[in-house]
Amino acid sequence: MTPPLWQGRFRKGLDSQVNAYNASISFDARLYRQDILGSLAHAAMLASQGIISGKDEADIRRGLGEILSALDNGQLLPDPEAEDIHMFIEAELTRRVGDAGRRLHTGRSRNDQVALDLRLYLRDACLEIRSGYLALYQVLIAVARQHLHTVMPGYTHLQRAQPVTLAHHLMAYVEMISRDISRLDDCARRMDVLPLGAGALAGTTYPLDRERVAEMLGFSEISLNSMDAVSDRDFAIELAAALSIFMVHASRLCEEIILWSSQEFAFVDLDDAYSTGSSIMPQKKNPDVAELTRGKSGRVFGDLMTLLTVMKGLPLAYNKDMQEDKEAIFDAVDTVRLVLPALTGLIETMTVDEERMAEAAAGGFTNATDLADYLVVKGLPFRLAHEVSGKLVRHCIDRGLALQDLELAELQRFSPLIEQDVYEAISLEACINRRSLPGGPAPETVLAALDQAAARY
């Protein structure tokens, strides 16, 4: 086992089991690119400030470039016996360029180095996930455009409530994903702060040019408190929270797709490429993509809880507990990366049974509220109109009919205010079209919302 770079203070080496317990290279190895980019910027700044020589900086740049290339193409693999990826890269650099490698860490601690690497990694992850959000957002808009006039029942308590359109229903998720994009953007903005230069907790006596490093690495500002810079992971917690909210939205959408694809609903048929079968029942077509998405939401929620729990009782500044941040946030990021293309493809390829949706809307008394509204327009107080409509629904249930199936004379037994125009008033299309206020399901209103959403990003 290679002695750690901090061995000088100790009389004996680390126990092998403690080394395995203490090490993080098995999961932080993915930070190698960010670690090297941060080191290149740090070395360039040290040279410009006269803290290291130009030759040392050139040797460091050459050595780190070789290491990056070798790690990228698989010629070099992280040493599983190393404590972490940061120590591995520094040791490998020193092996290649000698004392110049030993000078790289001047004015830097692993604490601010790790905080930098994680911010760089998660900043990149935010961009990638945002792209996935946007693809899902655009697919939802595209499918909604195809179904501006596809009538379906809207539900409360999973009971048929009022008629809407599939476009209106899907646009609810468009708005949710839009807020997810906005949350991710906010998270990335608050993450855009350079911690390097904070040292272990109290900065450094070297004349570092932190603003120059921030500019080289693309950060918009530098941290203003060295203890805060190395001892908080709220940027990772915030990202996990944002991803958790997205997974709530994804899970709800998938729950509906699971219901809709069942024979009991039969609203949609999922593409074979996004379904699986049964090992024993030949007839089965299972919505596994939707079910897995629903299930994976729990992983991301758990990752958020892990991060919150790790951080909740830590005194300032850095504590080793914080090593536990990476596996949780990496898992949250990886899970959402996995979910997004599968869910987007599932929605893009599903087939909608428009007739079945309309049939369901027609059969559930979804126009009962409009009958009450009709009576209000005729002069009846709403509470009395509500009672009349409810009695008519009960009457229809007893006879196995829909409201629109009743003869006019039969309707008038419940209220003399009802006239021939009632049939137009309670038609499903009229029920939807009259709801044309902003945010409503009328096709022209939904189309305007679609156009606005499409222009948003």
Cα separation, 110 vs 236, in Å, equals: 18
Q: 278 catalytic, yes or no?
A: yes
Torsion of CA 264, 265, 267, 272, to 10 degrees: -40
Q: Quick one: angle between helices 32-48 and 54-73, nearest 10?
A: 170
What are the residues facing 163 on neighbouring strands? 153
Contact 145, 108 (CB under 8 A): no
Q: Quick one: angle between helices 110-145 and 325-349, nearest 10?
A: 10
Torsion of CA 58, 59, 65, 71, to 10 degrees: -160
**Type of residue numbered 136:** L
The CA-atom distances, in angstroms, between 399 and each of 149, 392, 408 are 30, 11, 16
Contact 20, 61 (CB under 8 A): no
Q: Which tokens belong to 316?
A: 């300032």
Q: 223 catalytic, yes or no?
A: no
Q: Residue 190, by phi and psi: left (phi above 0), alpha (psi -120 to 50) or beta?
A: alpha
What's the N-to-C CA distance of the chain in angstroms? 52
**221: Cβ contacts below 8 Å, ≥ 6 apart:** 192, 193, 194, 214
Host H or E run for residue 351? strand 351-352
Cα separation, 144 vs 171, in Å, equals: 7
Instruction: Name the active-site residue from 157, 261, 262, 297.
Output: 157
Instruction: Name the active-site residue from 16, 220, 262, 278.
Output: 278
Cα separation, 162 vs 154, in Å, equals: 5
Q: Which tokens belong to 367?
A: 């126009």
Contacts of range 301-306, beta carbons closer than 8 Å, 24 or more positions apart: 301/244, 301/247, 303/240, 303/243, 303/244, 303/328, 303/329, 303/331, 303/332, 303/335, 304/237, 304/240, 304/241, 304/243, 304/244, 304/328, 304/332
Residue numbers annotated as active site: 157, 278
